[in-house]
Structures are given as C-alpha cells and as structure tokens.
Amino acid sequence: MTYLSKMQLNPRRRATGKFLSSPRTLHAAVESCFPPHYQDENPRILWRLERVGHEATLWMVSEKVPSFEPLQEQAGWENAVTWETRDYDQLLNRLLAGQRYRFRLTVNPVMEKFCDDDKKRRVALFREEDQIDWLLRRADQLGIKLTTADDDAKPTFAVRESRSMRFRHEKRTVTLQRCTFEGALEVTDPELLRKALVGGIGKAKAYGFGLLTLAPYNES
C-alpha cells in the first residue's frame, strides 16, 4: 500500500519557522512520524513543505500511515486534527495514457559538469530557462508530456519559485537550489509515472525535494 498524506502546520508556532528554514530539522520531524528504523526496511519517505500565503502544508508519500501526533505537538494547533491520509493506490491504479493533470513539483535542479580540476561535480541550475530545460529533458523517462501539441511545442508549465536554501549539516553549511514547477502534464506511460510519483524525481529527496503531486485538470 502507498499513502498520500498532508498536514496543515500552524505558521505561528516556532517549530514551523524552523521547519521552513531548515530541511534537515524537518527531515528529523518527518522521521518521527514513523517507527524507529522504518526507512531501513522501506523505500524513502517523500515529503514537501510548501508555503502559500499564510498557510504551511506538509505533503508526504509513504508505504505506512504516518502518525502525525509528534508533529502536532511541535507545529500544530492544540486539540485540532489538521491532517489527512488517503490510499494513494486508488489514483496510481487509475492512471491512463492520454490523461491530463495539473501538477506541482519541487526539485533540486543540478547537472554534472567537469570543473577546473577535471573532476565531475554537481552544479546547481539558477537560470529559469535552464531549470525548465532540466525538467523537459526528463519528461520521457517520467512517462509524461510537458509541451503543447502545436508546432512551437511550448512548455505547459512554469517556474513558480526559485531560491537558494542554506542550512547547517554537522560542521558544514549546505546550499541547495529549490525550484518549484507548476503546470499541466499529459500521461504518456502510466507505469513510468507511477514510479516517479512514489519514488521521487531528482536529487536531495531527504531534504524535501522530488515529490510530484497531481490535481484534476481544468481547461479554464
């Protein structure tokens, strides 16, 4: 079984502010929603924390129903249940070629390049056109189409947010580029898309990147 969960966090709680600024801190909080050593025997937990206006929402994909009580104590509202978990397999099993969905995806867009010392290193992509190209080049292997059907073949998505995140990890500072895409996609290979939805896309999944979410498509 695969589950899709979301929880509304209280933006006035101090812990919520820490979660927004430190993916490492939130990663530990996400792990607290599952039994000890859960990830030693199960696939990685995918998660994403997004801020829209005054709302902070945590999304999560896992193979076990999470227990959000520890997070509620830190960043929720007292005596209020602000989370829900759904059977994700119902959506995954309904995917068909030709279907269209709205989507949101937050990734850490990087590419490998040779540096001055002739060693390959991962380099973050900062320019919007490079970030869009990063996702377009992965469309086929994700089982989706991300361009219009006309001769121009324009992207059917855009960059909603792009910023650098810096946080401490042990004795060093980690810098990651956070890029959020929003738009429309068409399913071309349901099986490949299922793998992307439960396995994530790109690097730095432990820090809240790679979770793709779908919503019904509306022509308007």
> Can you give the residue ranges of every domain in the chain?
3-92, 100-216
Query: pTM for the full model?
Result: 0.90
Digit-by-digit pLDDT tens for the chain (220 residues) are: 999 999 999 999 998 988 888 888 899 999 999 988 776 776 779 999 998 888 899 999 999 999 999 899 999 998 888 999 999 999 999 999 999 999 999 999 988 776 666 677 778 899 999 999 999 999 999 999 999 887 678 999 999 999 988 877 777 787 889 999 999 999 999 999 999 999 999 999 999 999 999 999 987 5
Nearest to 27 by CA among 162, 176, 130: 176
Considering Cα of 210, then 203, then 2, then 82, what sign does the dihedral take? negative
Considering Cα of 189, then 103, then 8, then 75, what sign does the dihedral take? positive
Taking the C-alpha atoms of residue 214 and residue 102, their distance in angstroms, rounded to an integer, is 6
> Does domain 100-216 sit in CATH 3.30.70.1210?
yes
> What CATH number matches the domain at 3-92, 3.30.70.1200, 3.40.50.880, 3.20.20.70, 3.60.110.10?
3.30.70.1200
Answer yes or no: same fold for 3-92 and 100-216.
yes
